[in-house]
């Protein structure tokens, strides 16, 4: 999987930020490293794989990230130098106050665990209209509309070129 993909362009999904193209930040995943980039580089590249990058706090209160991108009619997640295919109903989320454990399983492979902490101030800054925006990674993984997510991610290039 990782040998086939040399470079993946990413759009940052921020908490409490709703459809604000002016504030959109772009990144690139290349050889398991994240680099910042800009919209012009994405549009001029022949590579059209574009995914989302989610930054969050780990249980150790350090900033961590994971990447979700489409490839060959499937969604893949990259976290801690590991790629795993996200299949329908393969994600489990357990919650203890502001802490969550995300478990992603694929067949007989070892599952990936993502330990996530949501700071209380994110709940305070949210007006309640969009509670899913407090932790976008959780919202993305918890919803069951797999086909809709896959088709929306494939349209990211089109969205970037028109914004």
pLDDT digits (tens, 9 = 90+) for 134-143: 778 888 887 6
Instruction: State residue 156's pLDDT score.
Output: 77
Within 13 A of 45's CA, how many CA atoms are on the CB side? 18
Instruction: State residue 131's pLDDT score.
Output: 60
List Cα–Cα distances, 62 to 7, 40, 78, 141, 157, in angstroms: 26, 31, 18, 21, 31
pLDDT digits (tens, 9 = 90+) for 59-110: 888 999 999 998 888 889 999 888 888 887 888 889 888 888 989 887 787 8
pLDDT classification of 3: cutoffs 50, 70, 90: very low
pLDDT digits (tens, 9 = 90+) for 48-72: 678 889 988 888 889 999 999 988 8
Residues 6 or more apart whose Cβ sits within 8 Å of residue 81: 32
Domain ranges in the chain are: 7-162
Q: What pairing do the DSSP bridges indicate for beta strands 63-71 and 112-117?
A: unpaired
Catalogue the long-range contacts made by 74-83 (C-beta closer than 8 Å, 24 or more residues apart).
74/150, 75/146, 75/149, 75/150, 75/153, 76/1, 77/104, 77/112, 78/29, 78/32, 79/112, 79/114, 80/112, 81/32, 82/112, 83/1, 83/2
Whole-number mean pLDDT of the chain?
A: 80
pLDDT digits (tens, 9 = 90+) for 26-46: 899 988 889 999 888 888 888
């Amino acid at each position: 999987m990782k040998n086939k993909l040399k470079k993946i362009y990413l759009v940052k999904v921020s908490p409490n930020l709703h459809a604000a193209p002016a504030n959109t930040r772009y990144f690139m995943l290349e050889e398991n490293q994240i680099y910042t980039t800009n919209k012009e580089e994405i549009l001029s590249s022949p590579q059209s794989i574009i995914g989302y990058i989610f930054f969050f706090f780990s249980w150790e209160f350090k900033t961590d990230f994971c990447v979700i991108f489409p490839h060959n009619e499937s969604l893949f997640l990259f976290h801690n130098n590991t790629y795993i295919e996200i299949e329908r109903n393969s994600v489990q989320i357990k919650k203890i106050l502001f802490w969550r454990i995300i478990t992603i399983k694929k067949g007989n492979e070892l599952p990936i665990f993502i330990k996530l902490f949501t700071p209380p101030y994110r709940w305070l800054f949210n007006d309640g209209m969009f509670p899913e925006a407090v932790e976008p990674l959780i919202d993305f993984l918890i919803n069951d509309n797999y086909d809709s997510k896959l088709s929306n991610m494939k349209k990211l290039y089109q969205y970037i070129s028109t914004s």
